[in-house]
Amino acid sequence: MLNTEQTIELLQNGTAKKLLSKMYGEGQLSEQIARYSALIESFRTHFGDGALALFSAPGRCEIGGNHTDHNHGKVLAGSINLDTIAAAVKVDEPVITFISEGYPGRFEVDLNQLEAVEGEVATLSLVRGIVSGFKEMGYEVGGFKAYITSNVIPASGLSSSASFEMLIGSILNTFYNESKLEAVTLSKIGKYAENKYWNKPSGLLDQMACAYGGLITIDFANPEQPVIQPVDYDFQSSGYSLVIVNTGGNHADLTEDYAAVPHEMHAVAKALGAEVCRDLSPEDIYRNLNSLREQCGDRAVLRALHFFAENDRVDAQVEALQGGQLDRFLGLITDSGNSSWKWLQNCYQETDVRHQGITVTLALTESYLKSIGKGACRVHGGGFAGVILTILPNEEAPKYAQFIKETIGTSTFIINVREQGAICLDLEG
């Protein structure tokens, strides 16, 4: 480990520049060197000098498989070049102390007190839960000091919370476990923290996509051992940009809406003697349609039907990308968006129909894409509020961004899939 001054100097060497270019793209190299330099200086200002290590955990983009993971389905997702980064040092005291830029004060977690604390802010609860998860699985834990900053849009569907979880997990993995925990194990610990310490009924998708790196398809048929397959495809070199559009909503307080989706799918499965929808087929729904509508409600039935169709679409999307059939792929993205809007019904809150940022943005985007004759869009992530994903030709991305700014009045982000998941940056090579 190097001190802060030495680490800043290393950011300028060839190995560091090569790594940062891979992570963020050559066009962002200068910006990222300045970003990490500022991170290190902020650490030094608040914590002094020390044997410093740098960490990064990306946000994630969900391309296919909207609300399928919690019912043991399939997803197509990727780590992105928006991330949460930290400068950290290992300490002897059993205390984790960190500052998260943009949030007031210091956060401290005493490793001798890992029980959930009622009313505690989510940031502390998640760290407490992650440490507890490490110990539950038999791994080592210990103290550290860290300065953390993030450009993953919070409460937007890009998994800022999972990015943060995988960052904390990566620090503990590096400092105390010789970096031996793989992405699946780190993801399970993050899920444990969300489920047990944050009361979020999440699956593994967010954590896996943040931890693993690259464009991947994940099959959660056995959630204890998800099957991960990298998908070799570069959208930008194929002439298309992935654009995340902030619709102006915030999904921070939508736990009940999110929870209702898996709960209703589970209810349909339970009514047919199964645990999850992956154990059923559409024909099971058709044969029992009237009784299911009566017992579970029409929305639950529609959400189950969305699961089956969306699960099949993931396979078709991967096949299309691997076969270079981009037009077919874009058609499948459109189909996915329509299914989420009409069947899954996660584009707005039923308790607040006056505010429909996602559906308004989708409507305008569909009209824009129709006018240029290319591209596709769909709700992104958990839905109900937050962001949408638009895929359109590279040359159209700036014009589309201007269109969104002039109409919706919100921001857009062109994202790239990055190869690196949650990592400790080795600037020396």
Q: What is the pTM of this model?
A: 0.89
Q: Which region among 2-11, 110-119, 158-167, 349-358 has the lowest average model confidence (pLDDT)?
A: 2-11
Residue 429: is its pLDDT beyond 70? no
10 or 98, which is more confident: 98
Is the CB of residue 186 less than 8 Å from the CB of residue 207? yes
Residue 300: is its pLDDT beyond 60? yes
Q: Is residue 78 part of a domain?
A: no
In angstroms, the first-to-last Cα distance of the chain is: 13
Q: Is residue 374 part of a domain?
A: no
Q: Which region among 14-18, 381-385, 402-406 has the lowest average model confidence (pLDDT)?
A: 381-385
Rounded mean pLDDT, 303-309: 98
CATH of the domain at 92: 3.30.230.10
Is the CB of residue 379 less than 8 Å from the CB of residue 62? no
For residues 329 and 320, what is the distance between their CA atoms, to the nearest angstrom? 5
Q: Is residue 16 part of a domain?
A: yes
Residue 1: is its pLDDT beyond 70? no
The pLDDT value given to residue 252: 53
Give the best-scoring range by mean pLDDT among 5-9, 113-117, 311-315: 311-315
Domain count, the chain: 1
Q: Is residue 26 part of a domain?
A: yes
pLDDT in tens, 214-271: 999 999 999 889 999 999 999 999 999 999 999 986 555 787 898 899 999 999 999 9
Count of Cβ atoms closer than 10 Å to residue 201 Cβ: 16
Range 119-143 burial, b when 16+ CB lie within 10 A, else e: eeebbbbbbbbbbbbbeeeebebbb
Q: Which phi and psi (to 5°) does residue 72 adopt?
A: 65, 35
Q: Is residue 250 part of a domain?
A: no
The residue whose two tokens read 């890009």 is: 158
Is the CB of residue 268 less than 8 Å from the CB of residue 277? yes
Beta bridge mates, 54? 87, 425
Write out the DSSP string of 358-422: HHHHHHHHHHHHHHHT--EEEE-TT-SSSEEEEEEEGGGHHHHHHHHHHHT---EEEE-B-S--S
Q: Is residue 282 part of a domain?
A: no
Q: Return the structure tokens found at 325.
A: 């059939």
For residues 208 and 159, what is the distance between their CA atoms, to the nearest angstrom? 11
Instruction: Give me the percent of the chain exceeding a pLDDT of 70.
Output: 97
The pLDDT value given to residue 116: 85
Structural domain that includes position 130: 4-58+83-208+418-425
Q: Which are the contacts of 221, defined by CB distance < 8 A and separation ≥ 6?
A: 72, 227, 278
User: In whole numbers, what is the pLDDT of the chain averaged over residues?
Assistant: 93
